[in-house]
Copies of this chain bind each other. A is one copy, B any other.
Amino acid sequence: MVKQIAERLQHLREQRPLVHNITNFVVMNNTANALLALGASPVMVHSPREVKEVVAMSNALLINIGTLSEEWASSMCAAAEYAHRIGRPWILDPVGAGISAFRNEVLQELLRYRPTVIRGNASEIIALSDFALSGGKGVDSTAGSAQASASGHQLQKTSGAQVCISGEVDYVIGEQRSVSIHNGSPMMTKVTGLGCTSSAIIAAFIAQGDDPFLEALAGVSVCSLAGELAARQSSGPGSLQKNLYDTLYNLSEVEISTHLNIKEYVH
């Protein structure tokens, strides 16, 4: 699988997919930069007057509900509905799932449009699976990603999506296969929006559109590995953010095959 991930990255860099982002104000700049460094092409458009046109011209869609409002929620739903209708791959990042009734309602509608992938931290995946108020502490996770694994499997079944859980260990859960990713760095939790960045990178991979499980896995793997390699040369989170873009830009097949540490596990 490691070799396939490296090939997918090579393919992404040749294809330069256009990724439509309807995301939160905090990370817009970062995710655009991560996509460019990776080799993809980001577009950020959210007006209901033009989201359909942009979904149609893009290769994949990312919906991230971080700084949600009613206006943005209707754009998100319109875009997701249209992506679903025309068969465009899309990923849902359910930031802060469970922290309010409003957020849960919007998520419930979004799930109807059958995201190709869902990526969140442990608290978010548990909340999304339960739709009960989680013990989540804001938008950072209080549950471990291993704890969320059972919820992730349940969410995979009910949603049909590939489910990715970020944490000390990352998980990618598909219908028939699941993989844990043992890369990353604790310092990554000290840079805002690296989970959102992981979702954006996954979006660039699912643009390939022929093996969503492998594509989601490639996205999570590339982000966590790049973060780990970047953290090794960083004296703090400011350096890490800068080095992450440089690492994404330069990440080689050799680095992937040398350092990527993933394990398939049986359901």
Give chain A's interface residues, CB within 8 Å of chain B.
18, 20, 24-30, 32-33, 36-37, 41-47, 49-50, 53-54, 57-58, 66-71, 96, 99-103, 137-140, 189-193, 234-239, 241-250
Contacts of A140 in B (CB 8 A): 41
The chain B residue sitting closest to A230, CB to CB, is: B238
**A69-B47 in contact given A237-B37, A237-B246, A238-B241 (Cβ < 8 Å):** yes
Q: Please pick, from B25, B57, B139, the residue contacting A25 in the complex, using a CB distance under 8 A.
A: B25
List the B side residues contacting A191 at CB < 8 Å.
33, 36
Q: Say yes or no: B44 contacts A67, CB within 8 Å.
A: yes
Neighbouring B residues of A20 by C-beta, 8 Å? 138
Q: Is the CB of A102 within 8 A of B239?
A: no
Q: Once bound together, how far apart are the Cα atoms of A58 and B50, in whole Å?
A: 32
Contact assessment for A235 and B241 in the assembled complex, using a CB-CB cutoff below 8 Å: no
B192 adjacent to A238 (CB under 8 Å): no
Query: What are some 5 contacts across the A-B interface (CB < 8 A)?
Result: A29-B30, A32-B192, A33-B241, A42-B192, A54-B99
Measured CB to CB, the closest approach of chain B to A161, in angstroms, equals: 24
Contact among B25, B46, B70, B235 with A246 in the assembled complex (CB-CB below 8 Å): B235
Q: A75 to chain B: closest CB distance in Å?
A: 9
Question: Could you say which residues of chain B place their CB within 8 Å of the CB of A43?
Answer: 96, 138-139
Evaluate whether A242 and B246 lie within 8 angstroms (CB atoms) in the complex, with A26-B44, A45-B67, A192-B33 already known.
no
Among A24, A37, A42, A44, the one with the most B-chain Cβ atoms within 10 Å of its Cβ is: A44
Q: With a CB–CB cut-off of 8 A, which chain B residues contact A236?
A: 37, 245-250
Chain B positions within 8 Å of A243 at CB level: 238
CA distance A250 to B236 in the complex (A): 7
A192 to B239: give the CA distance in the assembly, Å. 18
B18:A137 contact, CB within 8 angstroms: yes
Query: Given A191-B33, A246-B237, are A70 and B57 neighbors across the interface (CB < 8 Å)?
Result: no
Question: A42 to chain B: which residues have CB within 8 Å?
Answer: 138, 192
Within the complex, what minimum Cβ distance (angstroms) separates A177 from chain B?
33
Residue numbers in B under 8 Å from A242 (CB-CB): 238-239, 241-242
Known: A43-B96, A46-B69. 7 other contacts (CB 8 A): A18-B138, A44-B66, A45-B67, A45-B100, A50-B68, A190-B249, A237-B245
